[in-house]
Amino acid sequence: MPELSNIAATLPELWVATGQTFLMLAIGLGAAVVFGGPLGVLLFLLGPGQSLHRPAVFGALSWIVNTVRSFPFIILLVALVPFTRIVAGTSIGPLAASVPLAFAAIPYFARLVEQSLREVPRGVIEAAHAMGASELQIVRRVLLVEARSGLVLALTVLAISFISYSAVAGVVGGGGIGDLAIRYGYYRFQTDVMVLTVALLVVIVQIIQFAGNHLARRLDKR
């Protein structure tokens, strides 16, 4: 029975922590779509074999993207503490944790977008060029339309990855489900609470994956 009492006492905090996790996820994914999406499109257009191919610019952007992606998230989290304080006014809490999450999400999603666009048949792009379409028209009406299923799957992969990243943010007081699991499951040795938080994370990941797969299938016209 003490296990049940521990869980019952934790439920109010669990609801708050779940909301904090979704807040961090929303901010991170929002930054990824707004900034990482265009960056991924730019990487594709500047890449080898494309009409705007610029080797020097493409190489520089690729190097920056790969450099940020090479940082383990926990190290990036600590390294960005001074910048986080400037942006969020604090280095703890879900809003503060959202800063490194967004910073990591942008290059991550940019590379996923670039890979999704590379799956668009080359003939479709060449046909659009032959019809006199501008680069902006090709991006909006050809690339994004043809790759929309892959882009949804890319966003799904990013969301699931950042569920785990948000849990890591709990190590430094970032809030969310991970913070709750550490405070109760690790520091207080309440294994039942730890199991509950892990089960909740599993359920959230399964729902996101199912929704992403379902939407991607509906958008896939091939």
Q: Mean pLDDT throughout 56-64? A: 90
pLDDT digits (tens, 9 = 90+) for 178-196: 777 777 777 776 777 788 8
d(CA 200, CA 16): 13
Q: Domain of 177: which CATH number?
A: 1.10.3720.10
Q: In terms of pLDDT, which residue wins out, 103 or 88?
A: 103
Alpha-carbon distances of 57 from 39, 52, 69, 215, rounded to whole Å: 12, 10, 18, 34
Q: Write out the residue range of the structural domain in which residue 174 sits.
A: 2-219
Q: In terms of pLDDT, which residue wins out, 168 or 101?
A: 101
Those residues whose C-beta lies under 8 Å from the C-beta of residue 93, and which sit 6 or more positions away, are: 173, 174, 175
Name the domain count of the chain: 1
Count of beta carbons in the 10 Å neighbourhood of residue 182? 19
pLDDT digits (tens, 9 = 90+) for 121-149: 888 887 887 887 777 888 888 888 888 89
Q: Describe the crossing of helices 55-70 and 37-46 by its angle, rounded to 10 degrees.
A: 140
**pTM score, two decimals?**
0.85
Kindly report the average pLDDT of the chain as a whole number.
83
pLDDT digits (tens, 9 = 90+) for 31-42: 999 999 999 999
